[in-house]
Amino acid sequence: MKKIVALLLCLVLAAASALALADDKADVIAKGKLIVGITDFEPMDYRDTDGSWVGFDADLARKFGEYLGVEVEFQEIDWDNKVLELDSLTIDCVWNGMTLTDEVLSAMECSKPYMNNAQVVVMFADKIGGYSTVESLSGLVFAVEAGSAGEKVATELGLEVNAVQNQASALMEVAAGTSDAAIIDALMAAAMVGEGTGYENLTYALPLNDEQYGVGFRKGSNLVDELNAFLDACTADGSLLELAKLYSVQGALIGE
C-alpha cells in the first residue's frame, strides 16, 4: 500500500510539474512573482539587520525579477529537498550558490555557470596546521550541510560526516566542539570565519575540489533562457561585476 501511495504522489507531482512547464515564464508573470528557494548562506543569501534577505544572489535575483517585471519572494528551504520543492511547485527556482553537480544537472534545468567556488575545510586556527593533506583528515568528524556539495565531497573521500540543516549550522558545530571540522563553500568561509567575523578562532584551508555555481529551475523551464540572457546583459553592462564588488566576491566571477 505504501508503495502505491508513493507512486500516486510521484504521478501527481509529475503531472503538476508538466502543466507548469507548458510556459514557466508566463506562469511567473501571471502570478506577479518569482519564488526563490534559498538557505542562510553568507555572502550569497543572508538576513540583513532589518530581517530582509540580502547577498550577492539575493540582490541578483531581485534584479532578475525587475527584468521580468515581477516581485521576488524568498523562501527558505531544506537544501536536501530542493528538487522536491521545485517539482511540487512551491518554488520557481533554486538560487543559493548552488554547485552544478551531475546530480543537480540531471534533476534541474540549470543556467549557465556564473561563479567559481571550491569546498574547503574549516576548523580551529590553532589546529588546522596539522592537517595539510586529504589523508590527514581521516578520523575526524565533519559537519556538512545535508544534500550539499560539501557532503558529496566528504562522502567521496570516505570521511565521517555529521549532516546538519545548512552551512551556517555546520560552522556552529565546529565552534561548539561537537564536530572536529566542517566542509563548506570557500565563498562562505571567506565571509564567515577569521578576524573580524563571528568566528574569529576558526579558519579555512585545503581546497578539496573546483566547482561552479548556477541557478536551477524545473526540467524544461523556459525561464532558463531568460536568465541566461539577463546574465549576459549584466556582464556586458558591468552591473554583475559592480554587484560582486559590493559583496567582495568579484574574484570568483567567471571571466574575471
Percentage with pLDDT > 70 across the chain: 91
Q: Please indicate, yes or no, whether residues 26 and 97 belong to a single structural domain of this protein.
A: yes
In eight-state DSSP terms, residue 247 is T
> What pLDDT is recorded for position 256?
64
Q: Indicate if the pLDDT at residue 251 is higher than 90.
A: yes
Looking at the structure, do residues 107 and 192 belong to the same domain, yes or no? no
**44-59 mean pLDDT:** 97
The last residue of one of the domains, among 188, 205, 222, is 205
**109-146 pLDDT tens trace:** 999 999 999 999 999 999 999 999 999 999 999 999 99
- In the structure grid, which three cell numbers stand for residue 54, read together? 540580502
Residues 123 and 111 reside in one and the same domain: no
Can you give the residue range of the structural domain that contains 155? 119-205
84 shares a domain with 16: yes
Query: Where does a domain end: 182, 205, 228?
Result: 205
- Helix or strand or coil: residue 231? helix
181, 205, 229: which is the final residue of a domain?
205
- Say whether both 9 and 94 belong to one domain: yes
226 and 243 together in one domain:
yes
- 73 and 166 in a single domain? The answer is no
Is the same domain home to 79 and 167?
Answer: no
How many domains does the chain contain in total? 2
Q: Among 13, 67, 58, which residue's Cα sits nearest to residue 36?
A: 58
Q: Minimal CA–CA distance to 82: which of 150, 180, 166, 19?
A: 166
Cα separation, 223 vs 23, whole angstroms: 9
Residue 255: pLDDT band by 50, 70, 90 thresholds? confident
pLDDT at 201 over 80: yes
Segment 252-256 shows an average pLDDT of 85
> What is the reported pLDDT for 5?
44
**Could you read off the pLDDT of 202-227 as tens digits, one per residue?**
999 999 999 999 999 999 999 999 99
Q: Whole-model pTM? A: 0.83
Q: Do both 123 and 112 map to the same domain?
A: no
Residue 76 has a pLDDT of 97
Residue 224 has what pLDDT? 97
CATH number for 78: 3.40.190.10
Closest residue by Cα to residue 247 from 24, 97, 146, 37: 97
130 and 52 in a common domain: no
Based on the domain organization, do 70 and 26 belong to the same domain?
A: yes
Per-residue confidence band for 1, with pLDDT thresholds at 50, 70 and 90: low
Average pLDDT taken over every residue of the chain: 92
Q: Could you give the percent of the chain with pLDDT greater than 90?
A: 90
125 and 72 in one domain? no
Angle ∠(160,41,39) on CA atoms, nearest 5: 90
Q: Which of 18-32, 40-54, 113-127, 241-255 is predicted least confidently?
A: 18-32
The pLDDT of residue 18 is above 50: no
